[in-house]
Amino acid sequence: MESLNVWAVLVAAIAMHMLGAIWYSPIMFAKAWMQACALTEQQLAQANMAKLMLGTLLLCVLMAFNLAMFIGGTDVNWQLGALYGLLAGFGWVTLALLLLALYEQRSWRYVAINGGYLSLGFTLMGAIIGAWQ
């Protein structure tokens, strides 16, 4: 890899963070996710949202940086970046989540909601990083 495009990493991280805000919102999977995690609205209301948002954004930056280190290169376009992101998101992250969920006796709904977000998020980040070579 010749050089890392810091802007691509930052935009990819922000895109994944925004996807999470939509994915886990009431218009999508908030209620199903809360049921799958056995969380109540009262428990969530007690969380420090500023700390959560800053922490998740930082983690998105680290994940985008990691993905960029794997897929960076002049021969990667947005389609190949999206494919590599999907392979990382589903093949590594979601399957690892499934592995843990089996032992933790989590529901398939839990894996589908969280794994779906991670797979789609990595695909989106890969497309952005691949397009911005």
DSSP letter at 47 equals: S
For tokens 């802007």, what's the residue?
7
Q: Report the largest interatomic distance among the alpha carbons of the chain, rounded to a whole angstrom.
A: 49
**Residue 93 lies inside a defined structural domain of this protein:** yes
Task: Report in angstroms the alpha-carbon separations of 19 from 8, 13, 68, 123.
Answer: 16, 10, 18, 11
Question: Is residue 1 a part of any domain in this protein?
Answer: no
For residue 76, give the nearest of 129, 130, 125 by alpha carbon: 130
Give yes or no for residue 4 having a pLDDT over 90.
Answer: no
87 assigned to some structural domain: yes
Average pLDDT over residues 114-124: 98
What percentage of the chain reaches a pLDDT higher than 70? 98
The pTM score is 0.94
Overall domain count for the chain: 1
**pLDDT (0 to 100) of residue 2:** 62
Residue 33 lies in a domain: yes
% of the chain at pLDDT higher than 90: 89
The pLDDT, as a whole number, for residue 124 is 98
Domain housing 38:
6-131
The whole-number average pLDDT for the span 113-120 is: 98
Alpha-carbon distance of 64 to 105, in angstroms, equals 30
Q: How confident is the model at residue 73 (pLDDT cuts 50, 70, 90)?
A: confident
